[in-house]
């Protein structure tokens, strides 16, 4: 028999935020802020000028399918039991169908044109199956039902970060949120996919950390939960079991497919994340919520331009040529 849900979990499930009214409200997201902080000109091309470019890749297809399979498995396990999930869900099949259908969606968006080949697709598929098989065997290290409940997967957050510009709303979806009744604490888990995990450089990347810091802040505001009752964690799924710092194959004892990383999230760190989003809003939006007519400077660098979809278009920017 399913366990009775704690009142607070029911309240959260039954009270999603009201949807954004795009007639007078604007939504911003972590990825918008992250693009702006990398290069304001790129942000302007994408969000102000609305110049669309295809940005998917086999990495994003893989990431989407992995998220969906993991979330489906967790939803099922917390609703019924882990034994039932293991018995009823063929994770390989589930992942395969999500992987193929996501590829087809992106293929259509790319004007019916391929952006991967059979060899690469097979490699990513086999990596995904290896992750899921490993996770299924070791799942009890990471998830348990003892005193713990799944609040949900893809929990929506809609909050006005800047009370003076309250038509600009931060919108995000929390991958997985659990609630531990014994300690009365929540855990927000963000699933990432990665080639071989995060090294020290990635872990110290403040831009990456801001995503979970903002989720913690806004989950707290949206549901009136004290900050010290919210934990956060990046749950990083590794396609290859290499040591992220020196790229050597790890021993079978170290070869974990999952890397957990909890960024510091005390008051100072949270203030830095909130300041970053407020600076972004103040620089880009008017009091009526419209995007400002302003100078959005280019910020060329090898890192920024190599991953920028406008990098080769000389009319829009073309800065990539200086870094190839
Ligand atoms: S190519 Fe570089 S400078 Fe130009 S918009 Fe993209 S990131 Fe910015």
C-alpha 171/C-alpha 159 separation (Å) is: 7
Tell whether ligand 1 has an atom less than 6 A from the beta carbon of residue 35: no
Average pLDDT of the chain, as a whole number:
94
In tens, the pLDDT along 20-77 reads 999 999 999 999 999 999 999 999 999 999 999 999 999 999 999 999 999 999 999 9
What separation in Å is there between the alpha carbon of 103 and the centre of ligand 1? 27
> What's the pLDDT score for residue 100?
98
Long-range pairs of 262-269 with CB within 8 A, sequence gap ≥ 24: 262/231, 262/232, 262/233, 262/234, 263/203, 263/208, 263/209, 263/212, 263/213, 263/232, 263/234, 264/209, 265/212, 265/213, 265/216, 265/232, 269/209, 269/213
Tell whether ligand 1 has an atom less than 6 A from the beta carbon of residue 37: no
Q: Among 9-18, 192-201, 305-314, which stretch is predicted with the lowest mean pLDDT?
A: 305-314
Tell whether ligand 1 has an atom less than 6 A from the beta carbon of residue 317: yes
What separation in Å is there between the alpha carbon of 282 and the centre of ligand 1? 22
Give the angle subtended at the CA of 192 by the CAs of 189 and 194, to the nearest 5°.
Answer: 150
Domains of the chain: 1-13+23-49+147-281 (3.90.320), 54-145 (no CATH)
CB 62 within 8 A of CB 128: yes
Tell whether ligand 1 has an atom less than 6 A from the beta carbon of residue 310: yes
Percent share of the chain, pLDDT over 70: 95
pTM: 0.94
In tens, the pLDDT along 159-191 reads 999 999 999 999 999 999 999 999 999 999 999
In tens, the pLDDT along 307-322 reads 899 988 889 997 877 7
What separation in Å is there between the alpha carbon of 106 and the centre of ligand 1? 23
The band of 102, judged by pLDDT with boundaries at 50, 70 and 90, is very high
The first and second tokens of residue 85, run together, are: 């999930």
In tens, the pLDDT along 20-34 reads 999 999 999 999 999
What separation in Å is there between the alpha carbon of 309 and the centre of ligand 1? 8
**Average pLDDT score over residue span 78-83:** 96
In tens, the pLDDT along 118-156 reads 999 999 999 999 999 999 999 999 999 999 999 999 999
In tens, the pLDDT along 250-307 reads 665 567 999 999 999 999 999 999 999 999 999 999 988 899 999 999 999 998 998 8
CB 54 within 8 A of CB 309: yes
């Amino acid at each position: 028999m399913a366990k009775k849900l704690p009142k607070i979990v029911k309240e959260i499930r039954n009270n999603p935020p009201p949807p954004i009214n795009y007639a007078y409200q604007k939504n911003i997201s972590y990825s918008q802020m992250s693009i702006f902080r990398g290069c304001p000109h790129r942000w302007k091309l994408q969000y102000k000028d609305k110049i669309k470019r295809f940005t998917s890749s086999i990495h994003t297809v893989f990431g989407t399918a992995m998220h969906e399979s993991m979330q489906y498995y967790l939803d099922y396990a917390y609703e019924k039991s882990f034994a039932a999930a293991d018995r009823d869900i063929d994770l390989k099949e589930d992942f395969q169908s999500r992987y193929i259908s996501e590829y087809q969606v992106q293929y259509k968006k790319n004007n019916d044109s391929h952006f991967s080949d059979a060899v690469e697709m097979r490699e990513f598929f086999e990596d995904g199956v290896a992750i899921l098989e490993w996770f299924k065997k070791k799942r009890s290290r990471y998830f348990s039902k003892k005193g713990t409940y799944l609040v949900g997967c893809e929990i929506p957050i809609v909050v006005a970060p800047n009370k003076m510009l309250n038509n600009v709303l931060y919108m995000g979806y929390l991958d997985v949120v659990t609630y531990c009744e014994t300690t009365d604490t929540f855990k927000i888990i963000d699933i990432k996919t990665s080639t071989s995990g995060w090294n020290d450089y990635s872990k110290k990347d403040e831009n990456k950390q801001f995503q979970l810091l903002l989720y913690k802040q806004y989950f707290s505001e949206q549901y009136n939960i004290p900050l010290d009752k919210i934990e956060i964690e990046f749950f990083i799924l590794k396609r290859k079991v290499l040591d992220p710092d020196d790229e050597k194959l790890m021993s079978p004892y170290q070869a974990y497919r999952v890397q957990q990383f909890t960024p510091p999230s005390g008051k100072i760190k949270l203030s830095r994340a909130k300041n970053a989003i407020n600076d972004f809003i103040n620089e880009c939006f008017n009091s009526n919520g419209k995007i400002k007519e302003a100078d959005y400077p280019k910020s060329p660098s090898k890192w920024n331009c190599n991953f920028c979809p406008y990098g080769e278009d000389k009319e829009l920017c073309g800065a990539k040529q200086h870094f190839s």
